[in-house]
Amino acid sequence: MTLLSLDRVSRSFPAPGSPVDAVTDFSLTISPGDMTGLLGPSGSGKSTVLSLAGLLLRPSSGSITVNGTPAPTAERGRAALRGSTLAHIGQDFSVIGWMSAVDNAALPLEYSRPAVPRRRRRERALEALAQVGIDPDLARRPARTLSGGQRQRVAIARAMITRPAVILADEPTAALDTGTASAVMDLLENLRADGVGLLIATHDPRVAQRCTTTVSIVDGRRVDPS
Ligand SMILES: Nc1ncnc2c1ncn2[C@@H]1O[C@H](COP(=O)(O)OP(=O)(O)O)[C@@H](O)[C@H]1O
Ligand SMILES: [Mg+2]
């Protein structure tokens, strides 16, 4: 079973002069229990691949299939598939500072259909936060008062809360010390063991070493060791 497939996907961005080809003819599949490291230097196209895979960005050409469904072209259909199946953890975590950790973690449930009642959203958020080691006292604090490692855990709890089939994590350990990075990788590894498929962009060897497979990208193209 394939949870996510990118088939010869390309994406360019308009730029003064000529367009930037951020990703070219890139193919990849993710199955349950995969933890695939996407390795490449800065500017090689890792974040663009994750945004394409997360249906946050449309490819210029090529096709993307999520859980057997070709990515719809209309935004409404894309949002529905995104909400039911995918979670994207951005490079900056995008945890909202003035909101409590529990409200941050519960956020994706506000858009769930069928609707989840507010009380149940809080309960589920507290459960997810407990699983990543954020206790209820910390969970009530505004997220801006948490450490970098704690905010990264909140971002993971928020990603887990809709029970996605696929998690896309963009440099999840970039801002973390070795001990905290290792703890974050333990959390991602637990999700993998539960059958989630993970795609992790990184240039951190500590992360690459813990992935089940790695794929390298250079100048937007997949390069396989020969
Ligand atoms: N929204 C955008 N507009 C213009 N160029 C972009 C945009 N996003 C990415 N790029 C360019 O695409 C290339 C790949 O970027 P990115 O995917 O962020 O690489 P990485 O995550 O590996 O550092 C870079 O040259 C970058 O400048
Ligand atoms: Mg990036």
Task: Say which residue, 212 or 91, is predicted with more confidence.
Answer: 212
Please say whether the dihedral angle defined by the alpha carbons of residues 151, 155, 156 and 160, taken in this order, is positive or negative: positive
Question: What confidence tier does 198 reach under pLDDT thresholds 50, 70, 90?
Answer: very high
Q: Verify whether ligand 1 is closer than 6 Å to residue 173 (CB atom).
A: no
Ligand 1 pocket, mutate which of 18, 38, 47 (most atoms under 8 A from CB): 47
pLDDT of residue 224: 79
Per the CB < 8 A criterion, the answer to whether 223 and 217 are in contact is yes
| Per-residue pLDDT tens digits for 13-64 | 999 999 999 999 999 999 999 999 999 999 999 999 999 999 999 999 999 9
Q: Which atom of ligand 1 lies nearest, measured to the CA of 23? A: 14
Tell me which residue of 136, 118, 186 sits closest to 156, measured CA to CA. 186
| Per-residue pLDDT tens digits for 92-144 | 768 999 999 999 999 999 888 788 899 999 999 999 999 888 999 999 999 99
Q: Which atom of ligand 1 lies nearest, measured to the CA of 45? A: 17
Residue 83 has pLDDT above 80, yes or no: yes
**Percentage, residues of the chain above pLDDT 70:** 99
